[in-house]
Amino acid sequence: MLFTSWAVEGPGQDYTLMRTEDGFANVSCSSLDFPDEIEQPANSMLLVDFNIDERDEGALIGRTDFAWEGPAHWYRYVTKDGGKTWSAPEVLTEEPAELSGIFSAADESGFCDLKSELMNSLR
């Protein structure tokens, strides 16, 4: 799974999740819309945590951090089908515990090589 984020003016920002089960020979995508209060590209949401368990149930945690608007706001999206579909963002009242599951973050140092390989395979 890969996550990307696209910034646009006005409401409409989101995370896009690319899923594959065969080494990117076939890819499906789903979108997780940002909460309505994130209206500008300068107001982004950080992807803080993500995980899915063996039953394909999982969550994504995002956080806004607008220093001029007070403390950070936390959001949780939930999936029950391995990331094919997601709930609307739930507002959390405090920082959540770390998620457990079967996924671990990729080493970001290899991201440029992965991006290059993916782009070349799409050409």
Chain segment 60-70, per-residue pLDDT in tens = 998 886 656 66
Q: What is the pLDDT of residue 78?
A: 95
The structure tokens 């990331």 sit at 83
The structure tokens 């076939």 sit at 26
In this structure, what are the phi and psi dihedrals at residue 109, rounded to the nearest 5 degrees? -65, -25
Residue 61 CA to residue 96 CA, distance in Å, equals 8
The structure tokens 């079967």 sit at 102
| Number of domains composing the chain | 1
pLDDT band at 84 (very low <50, low <70, confident <90, very high): confident
Residue 53 CA to residue 62 CA, distance in Å, equals 18
Choice among 42-46, 78-82, 86-90 with the minimum mean pLDDT: 42-46
Its domain, for residue 95, covers 2-122
